[in-house]
């Protein structure tokens, strides 16, 4: 399967809805995994748990597929690789399936959508082109994303770092992201006057104490090895790639380390594993290289199938 996604045949994307549907059906018949999650962080006071389960799963289906397709479109259109590949889409859903947020409509899926759009506008910035429009829109979509999951606010710094890496300094271009970011928050007081205090509270929880410790260890090892393989391949490509690729790759790596720092900080402050979910939107841009142009592919392939196996086994243990 992974070999087909690494090809340039777009028909392989038809497997994404099938895999998402199978996952949702398994979640319906074996609901223990979905019960690991509790709490809500969205500033709009939307109770996603009050939505009828059938409608919740239908909307989640379209959001998951849409996020996977959009992320893959960005990877190809920004030319992170020199030919078409559909690895990012399968990696997104494979990583997302590790968390209960993949089983019903949640603030996280909505936040992922707008965060992916935010990344798109960052990656669209060119050295010799005016970046005011892209920087404003990046801030605006990040603001929407953060209104559903405030932890994404930390990524406002990423657009400023990207502008420093890509563009000559322009004060206006650095001010516009913050202006765009604030706009969605101007509407929140209409439904939630106390939203400011919720910005610094981490109320969502994942109760992984109820999950088989063996599955957790295997998952961490699998993803960790894939990250190492991907980084090794990225370093090899940097020496012979364009300046544009190096800049985009640098931004992606900064986003990755920002994600790791944020997750570790929140874990230390609130003892919550929930916010590891933010890594799902960034990791596909990195892990994709663990499957592309490798001399020895079987290691990455086995690790991928281990990931798929974990996503099935978790329903039964």
Query: What are the pLDDT digits (tens) for 271-291?
Result: 777 788 899 999 999 999 999
Residue 61 predicted with pLDDT over 70: yes
DSSP 293: S
Per-residue pLDDT of 199-254, as tens digits, reads 777 777 665 655 667 788 888 899 999 999 999 888 888 777 778 788 888 999 99
Q: What is the pLDDT of residues 62-72, one digit of tens each?
A: 999 999 999 99
Of 17-26, 117-126, 139-148, 232-241, least confident by mean pLDDT is 232-241
| Average of per-residue pLDDT across 134-141 | 96
Domain boundaries, the chain: 2-313
Cα 48 to Cα 37, 39, 42, 52, 108: the distances in Å are: 12, 10, 10, 9, 11
Average pLDDT over residues 300-317: 91
The residues, any chain, with a CB within 8 Å of residue 210's CB and separated by 6 or more, are 36
User: At a CB cut-off of 8 Å and minimum separation 6, what does 171 contact?
Assistant: none
Instruction: Count the helix, strand and coil residues of the chain and give each as a percent rounded to the nearest 5.
Output: 75, 0, 25
The pTM for the full model equals: 0.93
pLDDT at 34: 76
237 is written with which tokens?
């490509």
């Amino acid at each position: 399967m992974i070999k087909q996604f690494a090809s340039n045949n777009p028909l392989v994307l038809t497997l994404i809805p099938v895999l998402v549907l199978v996952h949702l059906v398994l979640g319906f018949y074996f609901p223990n995994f979905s019960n690991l999650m509790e709490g809500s962080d969205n500033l709009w006071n939307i109770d996603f748990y009050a939505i009828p389960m059938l409608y919740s799963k239908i909307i989640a289906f379209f959001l998951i597929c849409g996020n996977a397709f959009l992320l893959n479109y960005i990877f190809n259109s920004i030319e992170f690789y020199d030919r078409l590949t559909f690895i990012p889409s399968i990696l997104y859903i494979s990583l997302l399936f590790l968390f209960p947020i993949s089983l019903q409509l949640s603030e996280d899926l909505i936040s992922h959508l707008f965060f992916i759009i935010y990344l798109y506008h960052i990656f669209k910035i060119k050295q010799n082109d005016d970046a005011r429009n892209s920087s404003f829109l990046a801030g605006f979509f990040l603001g929407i994303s953060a209104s559903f999951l405030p932890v994404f606010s930390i990524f406002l710094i990423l657009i400023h770092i990207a502008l420093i890496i890509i563009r000559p300094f322009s004060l206006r271009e650095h001010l516009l992201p913050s202006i765009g970011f604030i706009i969605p928050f101007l509407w929140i007081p209409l439904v939630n006057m106390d939203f400011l205090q919720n910005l610094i509270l981490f109320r969502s929880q994942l109760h992984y104490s109820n999950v088989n410790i063996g599955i957790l260890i295997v998952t961490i090892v699998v993803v960790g090895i894939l990250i190492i393989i991907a980084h090794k391949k990225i370093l090899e490509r940097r020496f012979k790639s364009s300046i544009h690729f190096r800049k985009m790759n640098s931004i992606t790596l900064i986003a990755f380390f920002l994600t790791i720092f944020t997750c570790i900080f929140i874990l230390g402050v609130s003892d919550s594993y929930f916010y590891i979910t933010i890594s799902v939107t960034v990791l596909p841009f990195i892990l994709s290289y663990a499957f592309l142009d490798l001399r020895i592919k079987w290691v990455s392939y086995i690790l991928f199938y281990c990931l798929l196996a974990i996503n099935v086994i978790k329903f039964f243990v």
